[in-house]
Each structure stands twice: as C-alpha cells, then as structure tokens.
Amino acid sequence: MRLVACVNHVPDTETKVKIGADGKSIDRAGVNFVINPYDEFAVEECLRLKEKSGGEVIAVSLGGDPHKETLRKALAMGADKAVLLKDDSPRDSFSVARALADYLKELSPDIIFFGKQSIDSDDAAVGGMVAEMLGLPSASVVVGLELAGEKNAVAEREVEGGHEKVAVSLPAVFTAQKGLNEPRYPSLKGIMGAKGKPIEEKQPTPPQNKTEVRSMQKPHAKGAGKIVGTGAGAVSELVRMLHEEAKVI
Amino acid sequence: MKILAFAEQRDNQFKKVAFEVIKAARKVADEAQAELVALVVGSAVQGIAASLGGYGASRVVVVEDPNLALYSTTAYAKIIREVANKENADVVMLPATAMGKDVAPRVAVRLEAGLVADCTALTVEGGNLVATRPVYAGKALIETVVTSPRKVFTLRPNVFTSGMSNGASATVERVAITIGDGDLTSRVKEVAQSSGKLDVAEADIIVSGGRGLKGPENFVLIEELASVLGGAVGASRAVVDAGWRPHDEQVGQTGKTVSPSLYIAVAISGAIQHLAGMSSSKYIVAINKDKDAPIFQVADYGIVGDAFEIVPALTQEVRKLSGK
C-alpha cells in the first residue's frame, strides 16, 4: 500500500499570539513551531497500516525550509520518505489543497491521511478539498479505521454526541482526530536514521487564493470579573448573580 | 447575490443550528438585497421543510432519496453543487458542524469557490460579504473576504441566534437528483449515539473539570451539576490525556472551541490553550482553590475554594432554583 501523511508545521499550543507588523498575520518572532498535533495521529496511523499490510509511508508538507523539521519528525517516527513542496507564499486552504492534489495525483496513493485541522488557521478544509480534487471518497475527524480487504474500509468518525461508522471505498482520504491512536515517540535510532534520509524538494503549483485576510485582531480581552467569595458560603450569591444579573440560569 | 442556505437535519428533525443558519442568511440577504433559498436533504424531510419559513426562508428546495437516510459526504456534495447551479446561487452557507465542516470543502471545490470556515460574524460591505472568524483556537480573529465569484461559508453553532419561529410557512419545491452507487463511495452505515449525551460543541451551558478534581471518579460532581443545569460535561486537556475523560469532551486548542452562554470551569487552572477554546463564552464562572490561577483572569464570576465543597453546594442551589 502507498500511504501518504500530509503534515503541517505550526505554532505550538503554548504560543501567545501577537499580531505581526502587517496586521494580517501573527508575529512569528520567538514562536516555537512543531508538527501539527493532529498530523501526528495521521503519521502514526499510516505507520500502523504499513506494519499490518505492508507498503511505504510518504510524508508530504507544503511550505518553506522550516517545514523540513516537521518532515524529519515524521521520518524519525518511521516514514520511509519525505517530500517538501517548497513554497512559503501565503496560501488559503483551496490553494494548499490544489498544490497537494496536483502532486498527489502523480503519486496515486491508496490512502491519504491528514490531521483533522491545522491548529493555526483551524479551517479543517484541506483534507476534504484534496479528496474532492482527486475525485476520492473521504471520512473526516476519524477516531477509528479498519480495512476490509484491499478496496474497502470502515472509518469511525466523531459527530456531535456520538459516532458514525462510514463505509469508504479505497483509495480514500481520511482526517485524523485525537483518539485514533497514541503517536509513538521517535526512537534514538529513528532520529539518527532520519538525519541521513534525504528530503525530496518539489516545486508546487503556484498559489491561486480565493480568499483574502483583511485584518487580524486580538479578541476583546475579557477583563477579570469579580470574585464572588470564598468557599461554599459564596454559592448562593453566585446563583443569584447568574440568575438575576447574567440571566443564564 | 443569491444565497443557498443548507438546513441540517438528522433523523428528519432540524438541528438547532439549521435555524441559526437560515436566520443569519436571511439577515445577510436583507442587507445585500439578495435572494435566499434554503436546502434540505434527507430521506423523508418534506414534512419539516416548510417550518424554515418561520426563520426567514420563503422558499425551500427539498432533495429526497431513500439512500439519504444517513449522511454521505460524496452524495451531499453532489446535491449541494447541483442545487447551487440550478438556482444560480453564488453564496452557499452551511453550519460548521461535523456534517457541514465535512461537506463544505467539497462544495467549495465543485463550485471553484473560496471557503471561509467557522464564521462568527458576517457583514455586508459594498455588496460583498465580510466574514469574521477565529484562528489559533480563538487567540486571534481575522476578517476575511472571498475573492472568487462564488463563495462558501460555514457558520459556527451557538453564535448566530435564530430566535423563535414567527410561524410563517415556506413554499416547498422538490428537486429530483439521482443518487447512484457511484455517488455513495463514502456513506454512513450506522450512527452510535452516546445515550442522551449533549455535545460540548452544541451545548448552551458547559461544566468543565480539570486536574484539580484529583481523579476520574470525582467527575460525578461535574456530571451532577451539568445535569441540573441541562448542560454538557467538558474537560481540560490534562484530564483527557490522563485518560479520565473521553477526548470528545476536551475543550481547548487541541479539543473543541466553544461559545456557550455559561461556562463553569471547575478546578481548571487555565492554561493558554484551554483559555483559547472557551474565552468567547458569554459568561464564565471559575471555581479554583488558587486565587492566582489564570482562569480568574477571564472569569466573570469566581469562587476561591475547594471544588469538593463548592460544586455539591452549587448543584443543590441550582436544584432549589429550578424546583427539581
């Protein structure tokens, strides 16, 4: 099986966002970038599928040179190959998906895995767009995946208040949700091995964005409210405030 | 401008967010002097379609097929595209739900349209739509415009208010679209509902617990309070990672971003990634024994003290208030 994990390189969750000089994006100074947390589940699932059914795992990322760090992480976890679609111009989801789809078309993978969303733009769109561009079925926000022969799979996806079991024919695109698996830590051998593996660089389709960010702001800072009191004695006053002032209960 | 608004149903019942999307689309249509048509897709939905009139849709298109009793990303994408084309709609609005977020990217590709996901505000400026949406789980907000001729927006649940139905009835038109096996290469076979469990992403009240609760067995306190409030149980990343609670309850940057009317954070210190996911809640209550915990910086009301004493007292007091 040819298994592809698409990975993104994003600010970690500890990042305190500062607005950059352009007023449209974040100030990247001092920000620690990591592999997108959901993409780790994607890489892990590809590795597990390979361990069960054989094949190769290819990690693909679109972005500038810093994305190599994330590709190395995927290699250290056990991916066989890494490809950087090298371009650091600003792109919206459509434009990212177009570049990935154009590249993946040549590769014709059996399974393409994404994280369910990148924790920077939070669009949760690229996986579904790539599936549509390639004419492939998909299941998003997947917490379980079982292959049924070579041509079919059953994915379990998370929906509001429950789960859906989705029958999907292969090849297909999946997006991974937390809970799908427990990503492995790269072994020392894996880390050393990853240093020697080449990262193939490709020129992606130029960006053709369909959306434009006009401005970025910090949300209105919610000023600290009042401490109603200390201990269980403050409870009746809190309930009165929620009922009479806030009118939410 | 012509807007196609997708009204989500499950089990032939509209979800609350369906009315929110219709009402939001109505407001935009009024401001932009645009036409609005609603779309309902399912196996037996004609009977409920007219009720969308009460939220501002005077025309509703219904696509019914026995194969559509359960959701299919591939079939829904085809239907939405075909109806958008037939109606000459240049704007498609969907809810940012599990279903809407799944199908919207496909719809955008089929319509060669820019997609703005998870919008929290939509305004009309000079005939064009300007969308506001959170990024970095709400650590920042962006204003975005779509530059392609056709545009797709998904709207975050619980943000756009639907109000009550005014009782008006919409004109319902059936449109036949053939759904064959080739359109069902991805289809839901089975839905497992967590029995009666309200999802944090849809709840109007959320009670969340953190590591300060000391162990999974103590979440019964959180469950009881959530139950008397008619709310959902949420959890911090620390307790989900520790395996105390399922990950679908996690609130924060690697969990769900929520905007309920009331968010009660119990024994949660308030890590930045947690605050990002809940600070847009209308009212926040913090209960924590550390008076310097960051959670108090975003809370409207705080009680400093032991959750094991405060939460049962709060449950009791709410019970008294509601007469339960």
Within a domain: B199? no
pLDDT band at B324 (very low <50, low <70, confident <90, very high): low
Q: Do A123 and B103 touch (CB under 8 A)?
A: no
Within a domain: B66? yes
- Determine the distance in angstroms separating the CA of B171 from the nearest CA of chain A, rounded to an integer: 30
Q: Which residues of B194-203 are buried (b: 16+ CB within 10 A; e: fewer)?
A: eeeebbbbbb
Same domain, B177 and B46: yes
Same domain, B172 and B217: no
Within a domain: B193? no
| Angle (deg, nearest 10), helices A188-196 and A67-77 | 130
Same domain, B24 and B171: yes
The number of distinct structural domains making up chain B is: 2
Q: How far apart are the first and last CA of chain B?
A: 50
Within a domain: B190? no
* Best mutation target, A24, A105, A132, A158, to test chain B (most B CBs within 10 A): A132
CATH of the domain at B279: 3.40.50.1220
Check residue B322 and give its pLDDT: 87
Q: Which residues of A83-95 are buried (b: 16+ CB within 10 A; e: fewer)?
A: bbbbbeeebbbbb
Check residue B13 and give its pLDDT: 95
- 3-state helix, strand, coil split of chain B in percent (to 5) is 35, 30, 35
pLDDT at position B33 over 80: yes
Within a domain: B196? no
Same domain, B236 and B158: no
Q: Do A123 and B273 touch (CB under 8 A)?
A: no
Name B314's Cβ contacts closer than 8 Å, sequence gap at least 6: A235, A238, A239, B225, B287
Sign for the pseudo-dihedral over CA of B222, B224, B225, B226: positive
Within a domain: B45? yes
Within a domain: B195? no
Within a domain: B191? no
pLDDT at position B195 over 70: no
Check residue A225 and give its pLDDT: 84
Same domain, B217 and B157: no
What mean pLDDT is predicted for residues B143-162? Answer: 96
pLDDT at position B144 over 70: yes
Q: Which residue of chain A comes nearest to B293, CA vs CA? A: A224
Same domain, B177 and B212: no
C-alpha of A40 from chain center: 8
Residues of chain A positioned with their CB less than 8 A from the CB of B74: 137
Which of B151, B183, B215 finishes a domain?
Answer: B183
CB A186 within 8 A of CB A194: yes
Residues of chain B positioned with their CB less than 8 A from the CB of A231: 303-306, 309-310
Q: Do A219 and B74 touch (CB under 8 A)?
A: no
Point out the residue among B140, B257, B304 whose CB comes nearest to the CB of A26: B140
Q: Which residue of chain A comes nearest to B306, CA vs CA? A: A231
Which domain range does residue B307 map to? 205-322
Length of chain B as a residue count: 324
Q: Do B109 and A127 touch (CB under 8 A)?
A: no
Both tokens of B259, joined, read 């905007």
Residue bearing tokens 């590591």: B211
CATH of the domain at B37: 3.40.50.620
Check residue B194 and give its pLDDT: 75
Length of chain A as a residue count: 249
Q: Do A225 and B301 touch (CB under 8 A)?
A: yes
Same domain, B172 and B245: no
Same domain, B174 and B214: no
Q: Do A161 and B291 touch (CB under 8 A)?
A: no
Residues of chain B positioned with their CB less than 8 A from the CB of A219: 134, 138-141, 279-280
Name B1's Cβ contacts closer than 8 Å, sequence gap at least 6: B29, B32, B33, B34, B35, B90, B91, B127
**Average pLDDT of chain B?**
96
In order along its 249 residues, chain A shows pLDDT tens digits of: 999 999 999 999 999 999 999 999 999 999 999 999 999 999 999 999 999 999 999 999 999 999 999 999 999 999 999 999 999 999 999 999 999 999 999 999 999 999 999 999 999 999 999 999 999 999 999 999 999 998 999 999 999 989 999 999 999 999 999 999 999 999 999 999 999 899 999 999 999 999 999 999 999 877 778 899 999 999 999 999 999 999 999
Give residue-wise pLDDT tens across range B244-280.
999 999 999 999 999 999 999 999 999 999 999 999 8
This complex has an ipTM of: 0.95
- Determine the distance in angstroms separating the CA of B183 from the nearest CA of chain A, rounded to an integer: 9
Point out the residue among B280, B297, B318 whose CB comes nearest to the CB of A224: B297
Check residue B193 and give its pLDDT: 82
pLDDT at position B196 over 80: no
DSSP bridge partners of B283:
B262
DSSP H or E stretch at residue B316:
helix B307-322
Same domain, B209 and B308: yes
Q: Which residue of chain B comes nearest to A115, CA vs CA? A: B254
Both tokens of B91, joined, read 């704007």
Same domain, B22 and B140: yes
Q: Which fold has domain A2-202?
A: Rossmann fold (3.40.50)
Same domain, B175 and B215: no
Same domain, B257 and B169: no
Q: Do B105 and A211 touch (CB under 8 A)?
A: no
Q: Do A137 and B73 touch (CB under 8 A)?
A: yes
Both tokens of B70, joined, read 């359960």
